[in-house]
Chain A
Amino acid sequence: MDCLLINEGFPLLSFLIFLPLAGAFVLFFFSSESFARLWTLAVTTLAALATLPLISGFDTTTAKYQFAEAHTWIPQLNINYIVGVDGISILLVILTTFIMPLCVLASWKYIKTRVTAFMFCLLIMETSMLGVFMSLDFVLFYVLWEFMLIPMYMLIAIWGGPRKIYASIKFFLYTLAGSILLLVAIIALYLKNGSCFIPDMMWQNYSTTFQILVFLAFFLAFAIKVPMFPFHTWLPAAHVEAPTAGSVILASVLLKMGTYGMLRFCLPITPEATFALAPYILWLSIAGIIYGGFTALAQNDMKKLIAYSSVGHMGFVTLGIFVLNTRGVEGAIIQMINHGVTTGALFLCVGMIYERTHSRELSVAQGCGKYMPWYATFLVIFSLSSFGFPGTNSFIGEFLIIAGAFEFNKTLALASIPGAVLAAAYMLRMLQKVVYGTENNPDQSHLKDLSVREIAVLTPFLIFVFWIGLGPQPFMDIIHVSVANLLDQLHGWQQAQDVAAVFLQ
């Protein structure tokens, strides 16, 4: 366990995991709705503030897991409670805690029924999401990974739109189907190693067949979560029916678990299979980028449009991961954060229109820019960010990913470019409709511009759009050492295999 940096003193990570859980149980004893809102806001804000020492205490010079905690859980099976963060996961932890209070604020008026239960679900979600990103024990990871489905299912099924039952069951079945294979792979790895400690499973000399099988099991589970084309069909349904906060959590955090899983498990545990199968995954990513772009271009429902744009954007992330070089992987991690920020903000924007017009149709929202200048300003900035306008966050991500792809294979990189063009096309189409419309717009004069609360929800996103867009260096510093270490080991492992192959001949 020398890969852990165990900090003496306050168990920060456990505090982050259990704080929302404890907060959720407090809600059992109070029935007031306004208390539930305030209490949840307070708890999530406290969690967000508690990540500040995490950032300041994070050592950017080591690839070890930091703030680690290890406690015995089920000694008979060698299953332990081990948590820690490194450069790959810490930004996702911060993203999660940062998104949650904003989700609570965004649901302030949107959720009118069963408020306490809604807030309870949000808090439970936060616990399990943070746990997934921090777990270093496979069983702990799996428990939280599965546990997350339940509050998410309820968020869609109870507070969702007209087809909420269909959407929630589809979401549940898809992700569950993937998870079952994940469990099989975990058990197989456990039987090989006799331990569930994730770093112990990495860089072992498993046989080729074993690696390919484990990789495929992992990959299917994660690809459904991302979602990669062609496993994406649950996403538009879930997004369209989910309440705003649900969509934001889904887009900003849940989708990242798929790509996080690929980075954390596929690459180090099954390196041989990664090298063997990467070309196929890369072209699948390209297919997703183009497919997502074209489908988004055809949508008239704003939430569907953004949902399909997510398929395209996450295609860029998987592209960056599997080119297996520094620029690509760093770009992929930055792009995960960017997508969380930008798409989350866009879903909030759609939610704000929905609260006013009770419709997500572009034709209903047409021309509202005239009466909602503040709204239009935010929407323009987030849309520009979404298609990678230079100076905004997504540009940095896409730039690095495409640069990584060029290093790997020029044809591949050029093939991803139409995706960037399509992104501009569907985003500008949406902007044109919402801000200007046509010459016969519906009467929008009854629409009220954003309230102070809504501006307060969107402003933090705006800050991150420009911060990552114009000064990404602090973020790059955080992820750099871990990524370099991962890729060094990966390519070192490959060289070792080549040497071994020469000797065996």
Chain B
Amino acid sequence: MDAASTTAHIVENANLGLAVMIPLFGALVVMTMKNHPNLREFISSCASILLFIIVLSFIPALKAGQTLVYPIFHLLPGLSITLRADGMSMIFAMVASSLWVIAVFYSMGYMRAHDEPCQTRFNACFALAIFGAIGVSLSDNLFTLYLFYEIVSICTYPLVAHHQDAEGYAGGRKYIIYLTTTAKMFLLPAMILIYVLVGNLDFPHDIFTGMFPADTKSWVIVMLYIFCILGFAKNGIMPLHHWLPGAMVAPTPVSALLHAVAVVKVGVFCTTRTMLYVFGVNTMDMLNLGIPTAYFVSFTILMASVIALSKDNLKARLAYSTVSQLSYIILGVALLTPHAINGGLIHIVNHGFSKITLFFCAGAIFIATHKKNISEMSGLGRTMPFTFGAFAVASLSMIGAPPVAGFVTKWYLLVGSMEAHQIGILLVLIASTVLNVGYFAPVTYKAFFGKRPEGEVETGIHEAPLSMLIPILIAVTVSVVIGIYPNFMMQFVEMVTG
């Protein structure tokens, strides 16, 4: 594709700015609503629905082959805050905006049922985290990406430390230290060095060329690549994943948001965006960066699954499952074949809907029974059939069984690993599937077929409130629908891989 034909399809669209402003403005309004809880939640839900509609409104233009851009601030030559909507950004923007709608309703139910303190701050920070996530998804250059990445780090700290007890502060401290240190230590110098080498930080419009001029020394590119992979610690690659289980002290809607949408997905989105658009498939192929990365994250896939097996706390098990699943996304992109990249990127969507279902279920179980440990959940499936039913379906998605969403990912990844002639990766995927079954199947099995502990009162336990149950059912339905009919989201993925 020559330069003229690419630039012809770039269209300025102010709605991009609106998409970013809605959650920010929503957060500011929510902050003033301390004494009006109903109005506050009304504003949150309106903002979320409005954002979703705006994101949807980009689809026709993208289908027509356009790329939307909107420059906001021009800082220095080659350094600007600019937004862009292309196939890749739509993958994440769709997930973030649609899950926000579901999460707002769910957290309304959870926070009220649990009578949590500081709900205004919670709602405002929740919206700010979405502001960051949408900003990340719509970034047109590395600086904008970095800016919103940092906004997400800062704005989610109050959510992690929400309970303001010793445990909350400890989790919050670990969280912020891991995320800001890695970003400053690796990302900041990498970004500045790229700026010095290239003269700007703008992403190209295809995944092959990358940003670097031909005469850049290869050791510099390799160093920058390692810095970028380590710098986006939100992607949960071991050994920089410790913040994630630590952040489990947060209320469950936050964990759901953290794990399915705002934080970890920001991490993997940034990582894959950088791999494909800053370095580019050609450069990564030439310097042979892909396969080592794939094997590096394979360790995380297997190790995190093994750790998950050993966790009895449901949220902790889900957290390690997230660590493992995130690396699928990076693995797929690192294989650099079209099918593998498709599989990696579509997993952003698939994992998002399935994992948020699992966390929502964990929260619903906690609200209904005050139980956190899997060993205490024997037999609960009969009293909470919808919750555990949804849990079972979503865990099938994690395992990668048809017809749930995760199957699509597995299919593409397996094909991709064969395309890349990597038997090792194929074996990793198979082993990981077995491990997934190992830690998800017992939860469902015990819930439906296990016996309630002797002497425990059966009465008083029933399904969580409807405001929690409905979001769960919506999320799990979407997980199934995108498993059966993946083309709607795949069209964006295919815009990326061409």
Contacts and interface: CB of A to CB of B under 8 A. Distances in A.
Interface of A: 384, 389-391, 396, 399-400, 402-403, 406-407, 410, 413-414, 417-418, 420-421, 424-425, 428, 432, 436, 438-439, 470-473, 476
Interface of B: 73-76, 79, 81, 143, 146-147, 150, 154, 161, 164-166, 169, 172-173, 176-177, 180-181, 184-185, 188-189, 192-193, 195-196
A417 B184 contact: yes
Given A384-B154, A421-B184, A421-B185, A410 B193 contact: yes
A471 B185 contact: no
A402 B79 CA distance: 15
Contacts of A470: 73, 75, 81
A316 to B, nearest CB: 13
Contacts of B193: 406, 410, 413
Given A389-B150, A428-B176, A472-B76, A421 B189 contact: no
A420 B188 contact: yes
Contacts of B164: 436, 439
Interface centre among B75, B143, B181 (most CB of A within 10 A): B75
B75 A414 contact: no
A424 B184 contact: yes
Contact of B185 (A391, A406, A410, A417): A417
B76 A424 contact: no
A407 B196 contact: yes
Contacts of B192: 399, 402-403, 406, 413
Nearest to B163: A439
9 contacts: A389-B150, A390-B143, A400-B76, A406-B196, A417-B184, A420-B184, A432-B169, A439-B166, A470-B73
Given A425-B181, A428-B180, A471 B189 contact: no
A417 B161 CA distance: 28
Nearest to A390: B147
A210 to B, nearest CB: 36
Contacts of A473: 74-76
B476 to A, nearest CB: 36
Nearest to A334: B76
A418 B164 CA distance: 29
Q: Which 8 A-B pairs have the closest CB atoms?
A: A390-B147, A421-B184, A470-B73, A406-B196, A402-B192, A424-B180, A420-B184, A417-B189
Given A391-B147, A413-B192, A417-B188, A471 B154 contact: no
Nearest to A438: B169
A303 B448 CA distance: 61
Contact of A418 (B73, B185, B196): B185
B177 A439 contact: no
A436 B76 contact: no
Contacts of A402: 188-189, 192
Given A428-B180, A476-B76, 5 more contacts: A396-B76, A399-B192, A432-B169, A439-B169, A470-B73
Nearest to B72: A470
Contacts of B195: 399, 403
A492 B270 CA distance: 43
Nearest to A416: B189
Contacts of B189: 402, 406, 413-414, 417
Contacts of A390: 143, 146-147, 150
A471 B180 contact: no
A40 to B, nearest CB: 37
A471 B73 contact: yes
Contacts of A421: 180-181, 184-185
A425 B76 contact: no
Contacts of A399: 76, 79, 192, 195
A439 B185 contact: no
Nearest to A428: B176
Contacts of A414: 189
Nearest to A407: B196
A384 B165 CA distance: 24
A438 B192 CA distance: 37
A403 B74 CA distance: 18
Given A384-B154, A389-B150, A396 B75 contact: yes
A471 B74 CA distance: 6
Nearest to B183: A424
Contacts of B177: 425
Nearest to A327: B196
B16 to A, nearest CB: 17
